[in-house]
Structure 1
Amino acid sequence: MKKLIILFVTALVVLSCKDEPKETNSDTTDVGTELIKTAKDSVISQSNEIIEQIKTVKQIKEELNAKGFKTFDYVDEKTQDTILMQQYFMAFLKTGPIRGQNEEETADLQKEHLAHLGKMYELGYADISGPFGDDGDIRGITIYNVPTLKMADSLANADPMVKAGRLEIEIHPWWAAKGFPLR
């Protein structure tokens, strides 16, 4: 957040410090001056819009808590930034008891499974999903961005692969910092 604000302030300073064109041709000078003014106004407008969109940790925490999410925050000793933690729910998709589907049924279930996960992502209920790269009992995970275990369990059990018994679900609460991307 700080880097974004610094970037826009820097761009604003650079544009505002530009010298006017030295040419004596008034048409060229007027066009150049107008372009610089338009660019400067655009940067100022975009900067103001971004600053208005940036919410404080307190505002985000209040919004999440109002929706029923569990949160806490702390101050990072190194950066002195306030870090907001939110509870998510990690669903482990494990090998289910019913694995006797034929190839065609399995392919159809896989399409429905992927459509379900895509829908969860589009609706904002799941933030990340994916299979594991080995052939172990735990086949994959989905991280649900919902306020309760009951809601995560309901969404996970609505998966066609789970309904068919090909997969089963094990869910655990999981804490992560808001706004930190995967690397």
Structure 2
Amino acid sequence: MKRITLVLVVICALMSCKNEDKEVNTVEAIDEPAENIETIKEQSIAEIKAKLVDEGFQVFDYIDEKTKDTTLMQQYFIAFLKRGPIRNQNEEEANKLQSAHLAHLGKMYELGYADISGPFGDDGEIRGITIYNVPTLQMADSLANADPMVKAGRLVIEVHPWWAAKGFPLR
């Protein structure tokens, strides 16, 4: 229970760092590492699209029929963290792995590689997800497999491409 509470506190802290200001036909560019947040300014959809394409991201846009605004879609990668085959660590080792796992996820967020992570609320086979904001499946897979829990075999990774509207906040 303490671990779940700790994970939820970390997720809430990470979520509270996001800025949710919106303007018509603009989205806030938040692809830079956290240390450059002060220099981020609002850009047009065309500017953001050009930058993403230049960086190797897959994108497309469309006109929203209701609002007549241009919506920019970006390909992200969802990593499903699944129960791994090696779960025989003692409590002390499991706690150390959990701390290293949370530090890894926090670092991925700080560096701008991951936009959100979190555990599922049941005790199923899929333990949680991370949404990676990187240009390729190979990069997402490499970052996900660098997780100490994955390296220890306590979790295994399954990564899938996923499309979402750029700049839309969670609600």
TM-score range, shorter chain: 0.7 to 0.9
Matched, 1:65 2:44: no
Q: For 2:144 and 2:170, how far apart are their aligned partners in 1?
A: 23
Please give the per-residue CA displacement for 1:25-47, whole angstroms capped at 9, x wherever unaligned: xxxxxxxxxxxxxxxxxxxxxxx
SS at match of 1:2: coil
Segments of structure 1 that go 5 or more residues without pairing to the other structure are: 5-52
Could you list the structure 1 runs, at least 4 aligned residues long, displaced by more than 3 angstroms after superposition: none
Matches within 5 A, 1:72-91: 72-91=60-79
Matched letter for residue 2 of structure 1? V
Residue 54 of structure 1 and its aligned partner are, at CA, apart by 2.8
Structure number having the greater strand percentage = 2
Q: For 2:165 and 2:45, how far apart are their aligned partners in 1?
A: 11
User: How many pairs align?
Assistant: 135
Partner of residue 158 from structure 1, selected from 129, 146, 152: 146
Q: For 2:43 and 2:146, how far apart are their aligned partners in 1?
A: 34
Matched, 1:2 2:24: yes
Matches within 5 A, 1:89-104: 89-104=77-92
Please give the per-residue CA displacement for 1:37-71, whole angstroms capped at 9, x wherever unaligned: xxxxxxxxxxxxxxxx4311111000000000000
Question: Which structure: larger Rg?
Answer: 1
Q: For 1:68 and 1:179, how far apart are their aligned partners in 2?
A: 18
Partner of residue 125 from structure 1, selected from 113, 119, 122: 113
SS at match of 1:55: strand
Matched letter for residue 54 of structure 2? A
Please give the per-residue CA displacement for 1:97-154, whole angstroms capped at 9, x wherever unaligned: 0000000000000000000000000000000000000000000000000000000000
Q: 1:9 matched to which residue of 2?
A: none
Residue 3 of structure 1 and its aligned partner are, at CA, apart by 9.8
TM-score (norm 2): 0.77
Matches within 5 A, 1:143-182: 143-182=131-170
Taking only the aligned residue pairs, the percentage that are identical comes to 76
Q: Larger RCO: Structure 1 or Structure 2 (Cα < 8 Å, ≥ 6 residues apart)?
A: 2
Q: 1:35 matched to which residue of 2?
A: none
Q: 1:113 matched to which residue of 2?
A: 101
Please give the per-residue CA displacement for 1:67-88, whole angstroms capped at 9, x wherever unaligned: 0000000000000000000000
Structure number having the greater helix percentage = 1
Q: 1:10 matched to which residue of 2?
A: none
TM-score (norm 1): 0.72
Matched letter for residue 110 of structure 2? E
